[in-house]
Structure 1
Amino acid sequence: MTNQKNAYLFYKHSDDIDSKLEEVKKLGRKYDFKLVDHPSEASIIASIGGDGAFLQAVRKTHFREDCLYIGVNDDSVGFYTDFHLDNLERIELGMQSELIEVLRYPTLEVTIDGMKSFHCLNEFSIRSNIIKTFVIDVHIDGLYFETFRGDGLVVSTPTGSTAYNKSLGGAVVDPKLKAMQLTEIASVNNSQYRTLGAPLLLSKGRELVLKIVQDGNDHPIIGLDNEAMSIRHSHEVRIKVSDKEIKTLRMKDNLFLHKVKRSFL
């Protein structure tokens, strides 16, 4: 069984970060944490570098459910990062179990053309790669819902609701809700074409199916968190809230609403 205090650091090396991490490593040894060379050996995976680094750490380590993910920022505070590399006092407090708690973040399961499945912690997005209206038939639980025309669609988790989704006018969602949110990117709404024209929140257990109309715009750009992929002749994307959850540590004095207020108000 993996030692519960085995830690792996996920970051890009630089002289500045390496220097600061030496002090963090000293603190870790003080509290009996052991650094390991590979994430598979770790019970704790700590990313250094903000929300983008956190998302990459989760993705590159395959959305592990048997470990804790911790975000340490090297610049400004993010939604996935409760610690800052320059604040050793707070990092030390985080090594004391009575001051921290475990949160479970929902993920999305995305299946493209009935083949390979992917997971997302923040959001899934699908956009046109050419200057032409993108047409998608939207189905929910087998029911035809609408035909979307516009630049694309974003499906976000509650934790991803404050990112791309919010910039599109989507709602900020409490991460304790097991749900996904469908938000439009520049939809066409006129006397001929109509869409809902508002973000749609769907509970866990729903299945969202996006059927891409094959009209020459069938080579979309697909975004999985902060990674992009291009798939030719895509026909169908199935999205649901996964049973897979990501466990992360947060300080008890840094609630989701604290982060929302600090970031936007």
Structure 2
Amino acid sequence: MPERRNHLYFFYKHDEQLIEQVKPLMELAQQSGFVVVGDYRNANIIVSIGDDGSFLQAVRQTGFRNDCLYAGISTLPSHARGFYCDFHIDDVNHMVQSMKNEQIEVRRYPIIQATIDDTASFFCLNECSIRSGIIKTFVMDVFIDDLHFETFRGDGMIVATPTGSTAYNKSVNGAVVDPLLPCIQVSELASLNNNRYRTLGSSFILSGERKLTLKISPEGNHYPIIGMDNEALSIQHIEKIDIVLSDRVIKTVRLKDNSFWEKVKRTFL
């Protein structure tokens, strides 16, 4: 791995239109002293081109590396740029000037680690979700550390990072959380609450020091759908999922004048 952060890997969908848009970026990068590499393992800056979904895929498919920087370049209209893409493909001059004038900074985003049945582990930058794969109430025992907190009955649950709080989590009325807070948020999907069954009925936030354990009832829950960011896992007969805030972080390059809360205001208000 080179000592200087000047080895770039571009992650993008290789369709004809996008290939033509990326060519000037590669040329500009090389003219500015960067080395464009074809293998992400040889890069120390990984640049995603597309939208927030592309950024999530870039992070996932390059292994959630914490020894490099990630940057997002949007191909969407400026007003729909998203939360992970601070730059726009039609304004490369702004990108270069920002770098030259030191108007960028590195932001560290927390990620969560989900371990299934004490074997396979997965990282998530936005959220881990679990739902029933059939039309039937999903039943899980919810533990916070070693405390049995509740027995959940409903469609499923979302466990989100602070940056993921503005995505799937917000669509089910979860709270928007400052990414400077090391924590995870748990939000219910259509829980059953009546005289017979009871859950908390609202999202709750756990310290990054806590462990959340979801133990799945075997009755009719053999085919759960587990979402890791924007990917679904096909795993059958799951007994439990342990979810914690990872010690690993994702380091992203962003503009100093484009904070998380400025993005929240621009996107939702």
Q: TM-score range by the shorter chain?
A: over 0.9
* Structure-to-structure mapping, 1:109-188, within 5 angstroms: 109-188=113-192
Task: Give 1:57's aligned residue.
Answer: 58
Give the Å deviation of 1:97. 6.1
Q: 1:180–1:204: 8 Å Cα contact kept in structure 2?
A: yes
Partner SS state of residue 257, structure 1:
helix
Q: 2:136–2:220: 8 Å Cα contact kept in structure 1?
A: no
Task: Give 2:14's aligned residue.
Answer: 13
1:237 equivalent in alignment to 2:241: yes
Give the Å deviation of 1:94. 3.7
1:220 equivalent in alignment to 2:221: no
Task: Give 1:38's aligned residue.
Answer: 39
Tell me the amino acid that sits aligned with residue 251 of structure 2.
Answer: K
Structure 2 length-normalised TM: 0.96
Q: 2:113–2:244: 8 Å Cα contact kept in structure 1?
A: yes
1:152-196, CA deviations, whole angstroms, 9 ceiling, x for partnerless residues?
A: 000000000000000000000001111000000000011111100
Task: Give 1:202's aligned residue.
Answer: 206
Tell me the amino acid that sits aligned with residue 109 of structure 1.
Answer: Q
1:252 equivalent in alignment to 2:267: no
Q: 1:212–1:218: 8 Å Cα contact kept in structure 2?
A: no
Structure 1 length-normalised TM: 0.97
* Separation (CA, whole Å) in 2 of partners of 1:9 and 1:229: 26
1:36-82, CA deviations, whole angstroms, 9 ceiling, x for partnerless residues?
A: 01000001000111111100111101000100000111113010000
Would you say how many aligned residue pairs link Structure 1 and Structure 2?
A: 265
RMSD across aligned positions (CA)? 1.1
Q: 1:43–1:68: 8 Å Cα contact kept in structure 2?
A: yes
- Residue 94 and residue 15 in structure 1: after superposition, are their counterparts in 2 closer, same or farther (change >3 A)? farther
2:103 pairs with one of 95, 99, 105: 99
* Separation (CA, whole Å) in 1 of partners of 2:75 and 2:64: 23
Partner SS state of residue 98, structure 1:
coil
* Separation (CA, whole Å) in 2 of partners of 1:49 and 1:12: 8
Q: 1:218–1:235: 8 Å Cα contact kept in structure 2?
A: no
- Residue 222 and residue 191 in structure 1: after superposition, are their counterparts in 2 closer, same or farther (change >3 A)? same
